[in-house]
Amino acid sequence: MCFIWACTKYLARRNPKVFVRISHPTAVLFVIVTTVFFVVLQMFYVVPQLFDVHGLMYKLGWLVAIFITYNIFGNMLACHITSTSVESLPKDRQFPKPEEEHLWHYCDVCEKLMPPRSWHCILCKCCILKRDHHCIFTASCIGHNNQRYFFWFTVFMALGTGVALATHIIATLKYFRYSDLIFLNFPKDNLPPFWLVFTLILNTYVFAAPVSSVLMQLSVLQNNVTLHDFYSDTCDLGLWKNFKLISGEKGLWTFLSPTVKSPLPHDGTQWKTKRYDISQF
């Protein structure tokens, strides 16, 4: 995994245009195909082994599947179309006020001053407000304006693959008696079908990726940091206040849908710190 990450980073720096043309459509298509594959697999093959297709539980399963799928694709799209570049600011906020000028830093590529916590992205070719990283799965940079959508995107990916993994395990265990599992005595005449075992293994691997992303985002959220200042706690205001900085005034209600309007507390140019107000960064 580290080798793949290192190669990806090298290609991105060596030839950004080629990297974007190849990685963006490939990664986005991977998310779409994987999501659709597991929804179809679950609702037409795995879940019917657990519940009557005409019963209430099966219908509830469809509601859960639709809700999770909607939020995966919805947050993924919102993340992509929401600009978080410095250029997305109103014209008068793209330049520092006289009292803030010493807090902004100069970008050699853009050739102008940039707000605190803004970093240049060689793939987006601009500076990003509170830039965390460039995500190929949303084909966009993750920063101040769209981190909410990326956070819920990873959460729903983990939730979806997690629910799928749980139903997979239950469906597989139905082929064994309790005593078989205790004594590891698996009768050859009652083994689960190959497709079920294979997709269970595949589901386990697919589940690991979004879970690791969620854990990383929780680490970022805990101290209000980015991958550029991961070990700093300068802007840490406490877990709930940190969460409101990315989710906006509606907080946890943003879990319901990417369309929930939740204005952020500021425009991404001024940041509160533990002891003083921002812009002192």
Residue 197: CB atoms within 10 Å: 14
**Any residues with CB less than 8 A from the CB of 25 and at least 6 apart, and which?**
139
Contact status, residue 231 vs residue 219, Cβ threshold 8 Å: no
| pLDDT score, position 1 | 44
> pLDDT tens for residues 208-223?
999 999 999 999 999 9
Confidence band for 20, pLDDT divided at 50, 70 and 90:
confident
> Is pLDDT above 70 for 66?
yes
> Is pLDDT above 80 for 8?
no
Tell which wins on pLDDT, 83 or 193: 83
Contact status, residue 255 vs residue 152, Cβ threshold 8 Å: yes
Report d(CA 164, CA 64) in Å as an integer. 11
> pLDDT tens for residues 248-261?
999 999 999 999 99
- Chain centre to alpha carbon of residue 49: 31
Phi-psi region of 166 (alpha: psi -120 to 50; beta: other; left: phi over 0): alpha
Residue 140 DSSP code: E
Q: What is the 3-state secondary structure (H, E, C) of 16-36?
A: HHHHHHHHHHHHHHHHHHHHH
Average pLDDT along the chain: 88
Report d(CA 29, CA 200) in Å as an integer. 22
Query: Domain segments of the chain: what residues?
Result: 1-255
234: tokens are 């300068």
Report d(CA 24, CA 26) in Å as an integer. 5
> Is pLDDT above 70 for 42?
yes
| Sign of the CA dihedral with 227 first, then 165, 66, and 248 last | negative
Radius of gyration of the chain, Cα coordinates, nearest whole angstrom: 22
* E strand or H helix that includes residue 106: strand 105-107
> Is pLDDT above 80 for 21?
yes
Report d(CA 101, CA 264) in Å as an integer. 23
Q: Is 152 exposed, middle or buried (0-12, 13-18, 19+ CB in 10 A)?
A: buried
What is the β-pairing status of strands 119-121 and 112-114? unpaired
